Structure 1
């Protein structure tokens, strides 16, 4: 059995070396024979790489208009009036100018975020970023620079990558928009946000972000697209946007892969989604 496993491993390594020497289309075809494409969410077989299977695709809920033009949160009913704001946006206006997300944070979206962050499936960022590019095309077109929400340095060391950075690169690919992770730093270690109320989340993040002094001249007067994976209550987006505005940014918009919707409310709920794994 060990001999068979070793032989299979040598064949795979040889195939990868051969594929690396081939041009793009031939390489993809060869890899597709050895590693058949699977659903990026559940792992079931698919006809195309980096795609969703029919079952997972049916479970995806894209956020489309009509939605609150400030928070990007979906309305249950289309009133046929453009530019409407939600009661949450009027009662408690966010620090950022506008927010957009590609999907509601339901089972399929949660699985994709989980696989990217905790299963090291960095290849999923391309498909997720493409969805974000569609949802945030207006924001991307009007932005001067994209800034991913930074991780605390020890969390970045433990995880080895920042998922917001990966999503920012793929969401802005082909747009000409520069991604500048050095314009915002996380200077305070915060406790996990899961289970905290909206007020506790805001307090936890107070003073967590800062624009480095050396970065201020490059930030001054520019419209920033702040990128993250999930918007829950908006506390992280507000804290990061506040730091960017204090650092000299003219305005901050937010683009995320998914947005939490609970009982028809987004960015205003007190509850937070339970984690799939420890952060």
Structure 2
């Protein structure tokens, strides 16, 4: 979904979110950047990735809240940082809203979602994400930018959007560095094969 246009899947199953702003498509190059940030400790690339996201964000006349997709505390402790929070911090520096780094919490650990299909991801995330009770008043009536590094099946972002809307968010736009689109991946595979 972009602007006032809906993609085919969104026509079939309307999303809860109010739009997606992706810096780029998920390709071999963007994958390397995501992995460098997420697992390689290359946090210095966060400003560059955030600028690419910021270029795709729609203008808003109201103050927005920037809310990163949360990590479970065990994963946060082992990684040492939340890559979505780093991107959110940079979006706040660029003037896109106020960062609420701990607005969402993972109430239970979830397995790594890589390699899981959409249904398995949705099942793994059931009941795993909530709005922190002390933040609910700030969320109610607010426009929210939900930030993550990659949008894959949408299961994680859908769980986050549902929690934010349940807490009273008026709009939730998903912002990510890279977006996985099956048709783009199919085209890339065909090009590599030829």
Q: Would you call these one fold, judging by a TM-score over 0.5?
A: yes
Superposed CA deviations along residues 123-175 of structure 1, whole A, max 9, x for unmatched, are 00011111111111x15665521000010000000000000000111123231
Partner residue of 2:99 out of 179, 188, 195: 179
Partner residue of 2:73 out of 141, 153, 166: 153
Matched residue, 1:130: 51
Whole-angstrom CA distance in 2 between matches of 1:210 and 1:150: 10
Does 2:141 match 1:221? yes
When normalised by structure 1's length, the TM-score is: 0.63
Whole-angstrom CA distance in 2 between matches of 1:139 and 1:148: 19
Matched residue, 2:2: 69
Whole-angstrom CA distance in 2 between matches of 1:185 and 1:143: 23
SS in 1 for 2:75: helix
For the pair shown, the structure with the greater C-alpha radius of gyration is 1
Does 2:117 match 1:197? yes
Partner residue of 1:119 out of 40, 47, 50: 40
Normalized per residue, the structure richer in strand is: 2
Partner residue of 2:6 out of 65, 85, 89: 85
SS in 1 for 2:43: coil
Matched residue, 2:16: 95
CA contact (8 A) 1:211 1:244 kept: yes
Whole-angstrom CA distance in 1 between matches of 2:50 and 2:96: 15
When normalised by structure 2's length, the TM-score is: 0.89
Whole-angstrom CA distance in 2 between matches of 1:123 and 1:198: 31
Unpaired runs of at least 5, structure 2: 187-194
CA contact (8 A) 1:184 1:212 kept: yes
CA contact (8 A) 1:232 1:259 kept: yes
Whole-angstrom CA distance in 2 between matches of 1:160 and 1:171: 20
Unpaired runs of at least 5, structure 1: 1-67, 71-82, 267-279
Runs of 4+ in 1 over 6 A off after TM superposition: none
